[in-house]
Structure formats: structure tokens, C-alpha cells
């Protein structure tokens, strides 16, 4: 009876972890085993290694197999922002506050900005589409509160950066209604009717402050001296 012998691969090792080998099995007589070698350079430059194939072959228990390759850097963009959060503090309703942040391209290829969007319409950002290599741009973020209270949102920047396609900046602020005066006059017009020459007639009107702060009357004046406010400022 003839015995069937297998080629037993005991190990396949590489001197350099940048070269790796696919899983392997024993080999039947008059058969072959297709192996895959992967080269994943971690730095630039030429790389070489020796693959050690150990088996139960009585004549050649070890086969040395040379591998080589070169690691190259492909030009690409590299996005960077000067901050990942912006606090606008308190901003009066009806007004806005602008704060700037820096958008940088640290790479060696053009940074293409496909979108810059805010999750809250009370926070807006100026948009750019292209940042050349080695360039820094100042970007405006604006907070325009439409109601009182704390507000928050996210500014999302989407680009062609190969390993950081999305950058998120958190934004927050508070809309406040500051105390202010609010003048109102009643009545808004006064008709004196007929008044005898060289005599006078007095009529009153009221000034109201409907606001939440002191109303300071700086002056009350008439464009003719025939109408005067003798007890006014």
C-alpha cells in the first residue's frame, strides 16, 4: 500500500511586519498552494525583507524568499481647524455677534470643501470651496438669536481630506432681552382750536415709558415759539 504524503508547512515568517502573508495550509502531493503577500508600508522609502518558508521537506526544510517594495506618499489635502467649539456668550435679541476660526490645509494638495452647514439656523458660517495647500483661511461664524434662552448647534465641514472627511465644530450662545425704555405719547396730536390773540390756552399730553429701563427725556422743543411747554425740559 502506498502512503499519501503531505507537504507540511510549519511556518511562513517575514523579517518585516510591513510584509504579511495570507493564511496557508498543507499541500497535497503534485499540488500547489497559492499564497498572497501583502505590502503595507508605514513610511516612505525602499523596503526589503526575507520570507522564511519552513516545511517538512527533508531536502529543503527552509526556503528563503526575497521581497521588496517602496513606500511612497501620494499628495493629498489635510484639514485642520483652530478650534472645535465656539461660545458666543450672551447676545441681545435683534443683534448678532461674529467670531472667527481658522481653517487650514496642512497637506500638499488642494482641499475641496463640499459643504459647510449649521444644524441651527441661528448660527451661520461663511462658506469656502477651495483651500490651496499650505493655506490658512479665516472663517466667520455668526450668532443671531431669534428668541431668549440658551442655543446650541453643530457646524459640519465636509471635504476631500482622505482620513478626516468630516470636521464638526460645536457652537453655543444665549439670546437675551436687555432692559430698554420704550416711549409712548398720548394723545399723538393736540388741537387748540380758536384762541384769542395775546391770550393762551393750555392742554396736556402724557409721556409713557412702556419699557423695562428708565426713560431719560433729553429735551422737548417746538419749532415755533407760539407753542411752548413751560414746565418741560
| Tens digits of residue pLDDT in 103-141 | 999 999 999 999 999 999 999 999 999 999 999 999 999
Phi, psi of 168, rounded to the nearest 5 degrees? -120, 130
C-alpha cell at position 25 = 495550509
- Beta strand spans in 93-189 (E): 97-105, 111-118, 123-125, 130-131, 136-143, 149-159, 166-176, 183-186
pLDDT digits (tens, 9 = 90+) for 146-191: 999 999 999 999 999 999 999 999 999 999 988 888 899 999 998 8
**Do 108 and 92 fall into the same domain?**
yes
> What is the span of the domain harbouring residue 21?
9-71
**Do 86 and 171 fall into the same domain?**
yes
Q: Which residues pair with 64 in a beta bridge?
A: 52
Give the per-residue pLDDT at 231: 67
Strand (E) or helix (H) holding 37: strand 37-39
**Do 146 and 204 fall into the same domain?**
no
Q: What's the predicted TM-score (pTM) here?
A: 0.60
**Do 115 and 168 fall into the same domain?**
yes
How much is the average pLDDT of 86-107? 96
DSSP output for 42-67: SSSEEEEEEEEEEE--SS-SEEEEEE
Give the per-residue pLDDT at 5: 42
Q: How confident is the model at residue 232 (pLDDT cuts 50, 70, 90)?
A: low
Give the per-residue pLDDT at 3: 36
Give, in degrees to the nearest 5, the angle at Cα 170 between 166 and 173.
155
CATH number at residue 92: 2.60.40.10
Give the per-residue pLDDT at 128: 93
Question: What contacts 24, CB < 8 A, 6 or more positions away?
Answer: 9, 12, 33, 35
pLDDT score of 4 more than 50: no
pLDDT score of 34 more than 70: yes
C-alpha cell at position 9 = 508547512
In a domain? residue 2 = no
Check if the beta carbon of residue 209 is closer than 8 Å to that of residue 185: no
In a domain? residue 199 = yes
Amino acid at each position: 500500500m502506498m502512503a499519501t504524503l503531505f507537504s507540511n508547512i510549519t511556518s511562513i515568517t517575514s523579517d518585516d511586519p510591513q510584509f504579511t502573508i495570507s493564511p496557508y495550509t498543507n499541500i497535497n502531493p503534485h499540488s500547489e498552494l497559492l499564497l498572497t503577500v501583502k505590502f503595507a508600508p508605514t513610511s516612505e522609502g525602499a523596503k526589503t525583507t526575507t520570507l522564511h518558508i519552513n516545511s517538512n521537506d527533508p531536502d529543503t526544510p527552509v526556503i528563503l524568499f526575497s521581497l521588496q517594495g517602496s513606500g511612497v506618499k501620494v499628495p493629498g489635502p489635510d484639514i485642520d481647524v483652530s478650534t472645535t467649539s465656539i461660545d458666543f456668550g450672551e447676545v441681545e435679541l435683534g443683534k448678532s455677534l461674529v467670531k472667527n476660526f481658522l481653517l487650514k490645509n496642512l497637506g500638499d494638495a488642494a482641499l475641496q470643501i463640499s459643504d459647510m452647514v449649521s444644524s441651527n439656523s441661528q448660527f451661520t458660517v461663511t462658506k469656502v470651496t477651495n483651500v490651496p495647500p499650505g493655506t490658512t483661511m479665516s472663517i466667520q461664524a455668526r450668532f443671531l438669536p431669534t428668541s431668549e434662552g440658551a442655543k446650541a448647534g453643530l457646524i459640519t465641514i465636509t471635504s476631500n481630506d482622505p482620513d478626516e472627511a468630516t470636521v464638526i465644530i460645536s457652537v453655543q450662545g444665549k439670546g437675551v432681552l436687555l432692559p430698554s425704555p420704550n416711549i409712548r405719547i398720548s394723545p399723538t396730536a393736540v388741537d387748540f382750536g380758536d384762541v384769542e390773540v395775546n391770550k393762551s390756552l393750555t392742554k396736556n399730553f402724557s409721556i409713557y415709558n412702556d419699557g423695562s429701563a428708565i426713560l431719560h427725556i433729553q429735551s422737548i422743543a417746538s419749532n415755533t415759539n407760539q407753542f411752548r411747554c413751560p414746565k418741560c425740559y
